[in-house]
Amino acid sequence: MSHLSQDKCGDALEALECLFRSNKFDNDDVVNVSAYLSQKGISTEKQTNEMILKHMLDEWGIGFDSVISKDEKGIHTWVYDSIAFLTKNPCIIGFMLKHSDTNWRAVKRFDNNWEWQKNSMEWERIERHLIIEKIMKYNCPAYILWKQWMPIKRWVTQDRPFYIRSADTESNTRWEYEPTSCWLPQKMCYKGQDKAISKILKKWPSTCLISNAKQFIVLKPNMEGWNQEIVMEFDGLPVATVADRLAGLTQTQIEAYINKHPDKRKDIMPHLAHALMSVATKFGIKISHKRISAFQMDEEDTELLRKYDEVLEETCI
């Protein structure tokens, strides 16, 4: 007997009810979203459950994103950070697995622990390091639900303006958010606004560190204005060359520091792993979590264990 014949969980709305512990969404919401998508030119025949859920949840500030990618060879890869790292994030609500259009499984947070839905009636407490393995073994679509407003909640609840720049933001430009406009994003260009920028800097009586992607500058206030000191500058070198040298220098110094302070290794390596996984995810480099083990094994040993596990499963069914 298959897994799914024994663990019927419920439809998507029932899975949402489990995650939110309330009837936050109902069939009327689904109908309204479907009608909205139809008005946008997406016929009901082309609409999917995932499409409707994503739009419905997004209207309430809830992200609904796939946690698994599938390459051209059919290999599934977990695309997010480890569960241990995600558990520290208050944004995370839980996961939903789609076994079929009428059978969705919920995985929800319970304080710093997790609960796995076995069927429509039963739940089991699960150690967080086992979640990815259990999700991946079903070989079905899986989605993470998260609170999209949490990264800026601190500023919103305190009615504090905030400003955002990203790696692809144009030079001399930033997005500004003010409480008086209910955080309507405003794209502001400060090119040629030297006096305005100087006026803003005067608000801070302490030293400022500024980076313009080419150099680091320390500004120190004094009676006449600001003293400027260049801390680091890469003059005349291509950005790629600078980045390559800086990466090598950083790696060398981190290794030297760990060798000198071995007790700090356990604190440093999670941050280093997270940074490297971010780079891999950014450029679509597939990292198989199944290769992470308490034992160092080569490919031959791994294949033997996989075959043994398959035989064991067949024997137990």
Query: 274: helix, coil or strand?
Result: helix
CA distance between the termini of the chain: 8
Pairing of strands 186-189, 173-177: antiparallel
Spatial contact of 95 and 145, defined as CB atoms under 8 Å apart: yes
Please say whether the beta carbons of 98 and 142 come within 8 A.
Answer: yes
User: What is the token pair recorded at 187?
Assistant: 């794209």
CATH topology of domain 3-147: Cathepsin B; Chain A (3.90.70)
- Return d(Cα 32, Cα 26) in angstroms, integer: 10
In this prediction, residue 225 carries a pLDDT of: 66
Q: Is 133 helix (H, G, I), strand (E, B) or coil?
A: helix
Helix (H, G, I), strand (E, B) or coil at 210: strand
- Cα–Cα distance measured from residue 220 to residue 227, given in angstroms and rounded to the nearest whole number: 5
pLDDT at residue number 16? 95
Cα separations in angstroms, 210 against 203, 214, 216: 15, 11, 6
The residue type of 2 is S
How high is the pLDDT of residue 317?
Answer: 53
Q: Which two tokens stand for residue 179?
A: 């409480």
Question: Do residues 165 and 188 make contact, with C-beta atoms less than 8 angstroms apart?
Answer: no
Sign of the CA dihedral with 155 first, then 156, 157, and 160 last: positive
Domain boundaries of the chain, sorted by first residue: 3-147, 149-191, 245-308
pLDDT of residue 1: 44
Cα–Cα distance for residue pair 294/25, rounded to 1 Å? 42
User: Could you tell me the mean pLDDT of each successive run of 10 residues in the chain, 317 residues long?
Assistant: 64 94 91 94 94 95 92 85 83 94 91 85 86 88 94 87 80 86 86 70 69 69 71 61 76 88 89 83 75 59 67 60
Rg (CA), the chain: 25
